[in-house]
Amino acid sequence: MLTDRDELDCFLILAEELHFGRTAERMLLSRARVSQLVQRLERRVGAPLFLRTSRSVALTALGRQLRADLEPHHRAIAAALERAAATARASDGVLHVGFTTPPSGELVLKAADALRATHPGLVVEVCEVPLSDPYGLLRSGDFDVQIAEFPVREADLGEGPALLTEARVLALPAGHPLAGREAVTLEELAQVPLLTVAGDQPPYRREHQSPARTPSGRPIRRGPEVTNMQEALVLVAAGQGALLTSAHTREYYARPGVVYVPFSDAEPVGYGLVWRAADHTGAVRAFARAALHAAGRAATAPAGRRPAS
C-alpha cells in the first residue's frame, strides 16, 4: 500500500495537536485539505483513526497504535534527510581553516587534498593563526575551523580529539648552563626567565605557555612578551629568556645561538580542531573527517611528533 508523505505528516501533526485548525496552520494548508488528507489515509487503512465531534478530536485505539508505530520511523526519515542536506551544504563553498604550527598546517593541506576527491565543490583556504590572538579570527568568522594547541576551555568553542601530539622542549640561549643537558625538568624552569606571549591570553593558556611556578611551587621569572615565533627566538638567542615550546620548533626554526633541550617530565602537547560551537556546519564536519583520516596516515612524522592515538 503506497502512502503519500503528506498523509503521514498530517496524521502525526493532528495526533499531536488534536485540532484541525492548528494542524492546518503548521502545515500551511487549508482545514479542508487537512480533512481530505486524514480521510484519504483512513480509507487506505480501512478504519477511523480519529474520533471527531464539533468540539473535540481524539485518537481511536487504532490511531494510537499507528502513531506509536510511525513516530520512530518518521524521526529517522527526518534525521536522514537532515544529514543528506548537511552533506549537500558541505559540497560547495569556501571553508576557511586556520593553523597554529607548521605541522598543523601540513595536516590541514593533507585534509584539503583528501576533500577534493569527496567534495570537489568545497574550496579550503588556509591561513596562520596569530600567536597573540588564538581565537579572535575564529570568533569573528574569518576562520570556520582551526587546528589549535590544547587545552581549549572556551564556552563558545567546540573541539575535537587531538590530531597530533608533540613532546615539549625548552629553547635556551646556547651559552646557558642548561643548554648542554640531555634533558631538563619542569622544576628547573626556576633557573631561567620564560618569554610570555603578548595579547589577551586566557589565564589557563598563559599558565600552559609560561607557568608562574614550578611543580614544587618555586617562582618562575617572567621574560619579555613576544608576538610571534621569530621574535621569540631572536630574544632567546640574545639571552633575554627561554621559550617553552613544542618539539617541531627545533626542526622548523633551527637557528644559531638557540639550543632545544627536551623535558624528561613534561606532558606532551596535543593539537586538534576547534570551531564555533553554534556553527558546526556540514563543511566543518566533512573537514573534521578528512583531518582525522589524514592524521591517521601521518605515519612518517619526524621524531618528536607523532599522530595522536
In tens digits, the chain (309 residues) has pLDDT values of 445 788 999 999 999 999 999 999 988 888 999 999 999 999 999 999 999 988 899 999 999 999 999 999 888 888 887 777 666 555 568 999 999 999 999 999 999 999 988 888 889 999 999 999 999 999 999 999 999 999 999 999 999 999 999 999 999 999 999 999 999 999 999 999 999 999 888 999 999 999 999 999 999 999 999 999 999 999 999 999 999 999 999 999 999 999 999 999 999 999 999 999 988 788 898 999 999 999 985 433 333 444 454
In this prediction the pTM is 0.67
Cβ of 121: how many Cβ atoms within 10 Å?
Answer: 10
Cell reading at 184: 631538563
Q: By the 8 A CB rule, do 108 and 143 touch?
A: no
Question: How far from 275 is each of 111, 122, 127, 279, CA to CA, in Å?
Answer: 16, 18, 15, 7
Laid out side by side, the sheet with 243-246 consists of: 243-246, 168-173, 258-262
Cβ of 227: how many Cβ atoms within 10 Å?
Answer: 14
Contacts with 128 (C-beta within 8 Å, 6 or more apart), sequence order: 98, 99, 100, 105
Amino acid at 231: E
User: What integer pLDDT is reported at residue 121 of this predicted model?
Assistant: 85
φ and ψ at 154, to 5 degrees?
-110, 125
Could you give the CA distance from residue 167 to residue 176 in angstroms, rounded to a whole number?
21
User: What integer pLDDT is reported at residue 309 of this predicted model?
Assistant: 45
Could you give the CA distance from residue 15 to residue 17 in angstroms, rounded to a whole number?
6
Measuring CA to CA, which residue among 193, 191, 212, 192 is closest to residue 201?
A: 212
* Residue that is written with C-alpha cell 631572536 in the block: 234
Residue 47 three-state SS: coil
10 Å CB burial of residue 153 (0-12, 13-18, 19+) is: exposed
User: What integer pLDDT is reported at residue 87 of this predicted model?
Assistant: 60
User: What integer pLDDT is reported at residue 235 of this predicted model?
Assistant: 97
DSSP run (H or E) holding 234: helix 229-237
